[in-house]
Amino acid sequence: MNSDRHRRIPSSFSVPPGECIFCKIVAGAAQSYRVYEDRQYIAFLDKAPFARGHTLVCPKKHGETIWDMNEMEIAGLFRVASRVSKAAVGAVGADGFRFVQNNGEAANQVVAHVHVHVIPVMMEDKGKYSGRKSFSEEEMEATSRMIRDEMGRLA
């Protein structure tokens, strides 16, 4: 088996880092509702969330799939996702959460930059997968502030 074939998952969403929306968010060139940032990772609210508090956690370094990361980087990504999940659940009063990490267009990865979805879930939504929701700028700002505050309390 040719291992090079497994190094790249084809995606029509592939773009150079300079055109990647998440790279633009990292650089501060695109608007986002940030909830966490350190030297290697950033977390911000999904602009079309499945639930209130739906947050994306991604490495600052561009890579399309998790195969573009080494094991230490993957561990760091999920360490941050775990911290963000505690803050998001606490901030929105959720009863649980989902981690979703898609790789490649076939797996429904829409932005070709590695990211983990942290999706708070309420008990009444158990077993349901709802569609994308829309929140006002004020609601997004308030939610991001609540998650940031929770991140600070958990630090």
Any idea where the domains of the chain sit in the sequence? Answer: 36-154
Percent of the chain with pLDDT over 70: 94
User: Taking all residues of the chain, what is their mean pLDDT, rounded to a whole number?
Assistant: 92
Q: How many CB atoms lie within 10 A of CB 39?
A: 5
Whether residue 115 lies in the annotated active site: yes
Under a CB-based contact definition with an 8 Å cutoff, are residues 45 and 141 in contact? no
Residue 80 reports pLDDT greater than 80 = yes
pTM here is 0.91
Q: Name which of 37-51, 94-108, 117-131, 135-149 the model is least confident about.
A: 117-131
Q: What's residue 7's pLDDT?
A: 60
Tokens representing 149 are: 């505050």
Q: What distance in Å separates the CA atoms of residue 112 and residue 20, rounded to the nearest whole number?
A: 8
Residue 148 reports pLDDT greater than 90 = yes
Choice among 54, 62, 113, 115 that is catalytic: 115
Residues linked to residue 58 through DSSP beta bridges, in sequence order: 42
| Architecture, CATH, for domain 36-154 | 2-Layer Sandwich (3.30)
- CA 123 to each of CA 56, 69, 93, 95, 105: distance values in angstroms, whole numbers, following the listed order: 22, 34, 11, 6, 30
